[in-house]
Amino acid sequence: MAIKPIRVGLIGAGGNMRNRHIPGFKKIKSVELAAVANRSVASGRKIANAFGVEKVCKDWLEIIEDETIDAVCIGTWPYMHETLTVAALDNGKHVLCEARMAMNSAEAHRMLKVSMDYPRQVAQVVPSPRTFAIDRTIMDMMGKSYIGDLISVDARVNTGSTFPKNGAPMHWRYEREFSGNNIMAMGILYEAMMRWVGTAKSVQALGQSVIKHRVGADKSRVQMTIPDHVDCICEMEQGGTMRYSISSVLGHSPMSIECHIFGTEGTISVLEKHGGKLEVYAGKRNDKGVKRVNIPKSKQGIWRVEEEFINAIRGKEEVKLTDFTTATKYMEWTDAVTLSMRRGKKIYLPLADRD
């Protein structure tokens, strides 16, 4: 029996859309790239010609209102995610939305609520693939109480290894009107932390914009309001604490990721040198130290976001990476970081329960 084609509309065609989503969809049997709407018709036409998309639309409404389209893949900046997601769901379409989920947790909660109003439609947020290769190993170790009870997580993420430079080029991630309360890769990397050690129940944060201004596309001087260096202290729901530092301005930083999970019976360390791959080290109480954990390919996760999305539409599997409920949790944590920096005090999670 022939498989019914699933027709996908593409809204916003940035790097991730071109490099991952479009090739991913094209590999799946009976998936048709029905239409694309980009920032201009000309740029949309380039995408259509390069990847064989059937139709170029003048704006995203054409895709949303097209009854022949079953699903949309949203690749815009976060400021449009809520609008596009809600409109697509209201028009009977499945949604794959690029991370970051939204501008803030209020938008994320509205997206989640609408998705729950349409339980037969798939709603998925694109996960960060950075930890795919090690997630299952760490989750298995934690599930088997390798570390005992959690004492502390010490996580440091350096998105670059360069000293700060005023007058650096502007990027949309540093523009609050496009990115909202998202700060660097803070939220989507917290998503990985949730897989390993669960959620935080409180956040205290300090942040700074070390680069005071950047240069816009029109050569204007743009003042920075989104930090480029943040330090957080969190209380974890399962007990223990987490220190989470993320920065894009630390020169000569030795690692791009350095995360140590300390417990009463063991330690798990995750290390990634700049330009290298994530490696896992572990040691128990009576060991002389930590040793590298060899992870077989059979346990290393791979990028299969589009396949998971289409399979969920066809009823073959449920969305795991990442459902709207999980994404809303990382948006709440991101908001809590921003609120703590602004108010100078501890913020409790979930935000709906705060005083």
Is pLDDT at 355 greater than 70 in this prediction? no
C-alpha–C-alpha distance, residues 73 and 17, integer Å: 8
Residues 251 and 190 in one domain: yes
Residues 105 and 152 in one domain: no
Is pLDDT at 270 greater than 50 in this prediction? yes
Residues 212 and 257 in one domain: yes
* Number of domains within the chain: 2
For residue 145, give Cα distances in angstroms to 268, 274, 351: 11, 30, 29
Q: What is the mean pLDDT of the chain?
A: 96
Mean pLDDT value across residues 215-228: 93
**Enclosing domain of residue 75:** 6-128+304-323
Within 13 Å and on the Cβ side, how many CA atoms surround 83? 10
C-alpha–C-alpha distance, residues 95 and 118, integer Å: 11
Give pLDDT, residue 161: 75
Beta bridge partners of 74: 11, 97
**Strand spans (E) along 70-119:** 71-74, 94-97
Residues 163 and 221 in one domain: yes
Residues 98 and 241 in one domain: no
Is pLDDT at 236 greater than 70 in this prediction? yes
**Percentage of residues in the chain having pLDDT higher than 70:** 99
What global pTM score does this model have? 0.96
Of 180, 175, 189, residue with least CA distance to 247: 189
Greater pLDDT, 8 or 1: 8
Give pLDDT, residue 256: 95
**pLDDT tens-digit profile of 41-81?**
999 999 999 999 999 999 999 999 999 999 999 999 999 99
C-alpha–C-alpha distance, residues 101 and 110, integer Å: 11
